[in-house]
Structure 1
Amino acid sequence: IFVAATGLLLAMSTALVFVTGKGEDALYITAGVLLISFYNRIRTQDNFQSVVIFYLPLMGISLIGFLVAFFYYGITGALSISIGLLVSLAASWVQVMRISLHENFNHNDLFHVIQMLGMYLMYRGGLEIPPF
């Protein structure tokens, strides 16, 4: 649930740059419906693939949105967030491919180490974006 909520909030933070008024309400309603549908899905199919299927499109939407925010609106923090998203996607790929460095440092451990770098880049980028 936390991964789904994080993915939704990230995609919404991008989308809110581009929409106002009733569009915001539609985003909140859509996010709520998506979160409920994800919860219902993982009750019957609780596996990593279900999570990836849910958050991968959200990460793609977020990546495109932050790249647009950087190139067209000049929001510099959006570039750091975009790079952080790419690092996070690479971390997910490492986990899906089950790449391990050592028997005591498996694909899940490596995923989390790479993910920490991605989260740091997104955090730094977020600090550079002024409130609207």
Structure 2
Amino acid sequence: MTINEPVTVVTNWMITGVSWVLAVRLWRQLKGSARVIPGRKWALALLFLGMASLFGGLHHGLDTSVRPVGLGGGDLFWQLTMLSIGLVSYLIVTGTGQAVLPEKWWPLLLIVSTVKLIAYVMLALPEGAFYLAILDYASAMVLVVLFSGIGFWQSRLRAAPWMVMGVTISFVAAGIQQSGWGLHQHFNHNDVYHTIQIFGVFCFYRGAQRFY
């Protein structure tokens, strides 16, 4: 069986490996934490980020003739990638929000985030358009920066600088991906994006460690 875009598959799965290792480490560090909810949500976000990269690698690597069929006759691997991205967005927004907002605001945060996730799933999965995932993820990143800023202003939240750094790296990586710029014909814009994004993932992990 021929593997398409092997470097893209490898760089995708590098994100998977790093994300899952950091997710397990973060989850184990939560014992006895006063802020277990934000930390666990970020650990789950890293888990689903790894899943998005796993399925993304399968989508890029396998020929359409051997990919399983998903909803509406679409590519199942791509739909699982899109779904995982939506779950990451939901978890990082609610996790960061619950780390800095008073508990009286949590129900509103969860309701709005859940409605946003449902709308994303209903629009993105049937269409399979990656720009919807970009818009959803970018809006989540903006909210992470906003909540981090609130936390830093209120109590000098130690997580804030790492979160802002992670978002900045993610936006730079996404900008390179959207520009189509690559280092080599065998190391394209997606490969550059994945490689840079690994550093963003580490920053998010370091930030999530500092919620508690």
Normalised by the length of structure 1, the TM-score is 0.88
Could you tell me how far 1:70 is from its partner in structure 2?
Answer: 2.3
* Identity %, equivalent residues: 24
* 1:37-70 deviations in Å (ceiling 9; x for gaps): 1111013321221111222111111112112322
Whether contact under 8 Å (1:78, 1:126) holds in the other structure is no
Which of these residues, 176, 184, 209, is aligned with residue 102 of structure 1?
A: 184
Residue identity matched to 1:20: E
Distance 2:191 2:211 in 1: 31
Task: Look up the SS of the partner of 1:102 in the other structure.
Answer: coil
Which of these residues, 116, 120, 124, is aligned with residue 206 of structure 2?
A: 124
RMSD: 1.5
- The number of aligned residues is 129
Q: 2:148 — aligned with what?
A: 66
Specify the structure having the higher radius of gyration (Cα): 2
Q: 2:60 — aligned with what?
A: none
**1:92 and 2:174 matched:** yes
Distance 2:154 2:122 in 1: 38
Residue identity matched to 2:154: Y
Q: 2:116 — aligned with what?
A: 34
Normalised by the length of structure 2, the TM-score is 0.57
Q: 1:25 — aligned with what?
A: 107
The 4+ residue runs of structure 1 with deviation greater than 6 A are none
Q: Which runs of no fewer than 5 residues in structure 1 stay unpaired?
A: none
- 1:46-85 map, 5 Å: 46-85=128-167
